[in-house]
Amino acid sequence: MRVLVTGIAGFLGSHVAERLLARGDEVVGLDNFDPFYERAVKERNLAGVAGRASVVEADLCDARLLEELFSRGTFDAVVHLAALAGVRPSIEAPARYQEVNVVGTARLAEALVRHGIKRLVFASSSSVYGDNTDLPYAEDQRVDRPASPYAASKRAGELLLETFHKLHGIHVSCLRYFTVYGPRQRPEMAIHKFCRLVDRGEPVPVFGDGQSSRDYTYVDDAIDGTIAALDRAPHGFTIYNLGNTQPVTLARLVELIGTAVGKTPLVEQRPEQPGDVLRTWAAVDRAAADLGYHPKVAIEEGLRRFVAWMRAQP
C-alpha cells in the first residue's frame, strides 16, 4: 500500500510512518516544519524513516505544491496528521489555527477528490468535547461547545470531511486522540515538560487545584488504533475515540512523574488557564468493536518508558 502521511515529522506522524514502513508499505510524508517547536527536534523524529520514506517539505495550504505532490503518483490512502496543535496557543492566534487546520484540510480533501483517493484517516482531538460533564465521552455526544479555537478547528475539520464523504464518497475515519504521550511527544506538552522540570529539580507549574483529570494515552496504543483505522474501518464516515479509559488527576500525574524520574517534584500552584477543560475520559467501545482497539500501556509503565527515552536524548 502506498500511503501519504501529512505531518510526518511530528510526534504521531513519525511513529505512524515507522509502523507502516515496518510492515512493508510505501510511505510518502508531507511536512512544512512549522516553527511551533525547533526544526532540529522534527528532524530527529525522522531519523527512523531516513532513507526509507520520501519526505516532501511543503505546506498543505499551498494548493499548487499539493497538486504537484499528488501528480507524482497516486496513493491508496492518506493519514492526515498535520495541524497546528495546542489549546492555549490557539487563543493567541485563532485565525492562524483555522487557516492551517480547516483550510489546509479542505485543500487536502480537494486533492483526494481530484485524484480519486477514497480512504482518509483524520487526526481529530478529545478537545472537541469541551467541558462536557457526561462521562465517559462517547462519539455520539454533542460537541458544539468547544472551549478553544483549536477545538473548534478540529470539530470544523470533522464536519468538513463528513461533507466530502457525502458529496464525493471518500471513506473517512476521524480519530479523537486523548492526550497522547510517549517518546517524541511535543516538548511543550505537560508530561514532557513536567518530566524535564522534575529531572532538573525545577518547579512544576500546576494550574488550578490539581483535581482536573486527563485520559492519558500511550503512543503505541494510539498508533495501534491509527493503523487499525487505516486497515479495518468500515466504509463511510466514522468517528472513533482513542484513549486509555483510565483518567488521572493532575496532582496524581505529578506524583507518578516523580516516581518515574526518581525525584520529589517541587510544585508551583498557579491559576486555572483559559481554554482548559476540567476532565477528559474516553469511551472506546466503538473502536474496540470496529478496530479491535484495546489500550495496553498503563500510565505508570508509559511514564517509565518516556523517562528512559528522555534521558537518552542529546
Please give the positions annotated as active site.
Answer: 150
SS3 of residue 32 by DSSP: coil
Compute the distance between CA of residue 69 and CA of residue 31 in angstroms, rounded to an integer.
Answer: 12
Residue 178's closest CA among 66, 12, 41, 37?
Answer: 12
Kindly tell me the burial class for residue 291, based on how many C-beta atoms sit within 10 Å of its own C-beta (0-12, 13-18, 19 or more): buried
Helices (H), the chain: 11-22, 39-45, 63-71, 87-92, 94-98, 104-114, 149-168, 190-200, 219-232, 250-261, 285-291, 299-311
Query: Residue 132: how many CB atoms within 10 A of its CB?
Result: 20
Q: What is the phi/psi pair of residue 214, to 5°?
A: -135, 150
Strand-strand pairing, 248-249 and 213-214: antiparallel
Compute the distance between CA of residue 207 and CA of residue 7 in angstroms, rounded to an integer.
Answer: 30
The 3-class SS string of 223-259 reads HHHHHHHHHHCCCCEEEEEECCCCCEEHHHHHHHHHH
Q: What is the phi/psi pair of residue 6, to 5°?
A: -85, 145
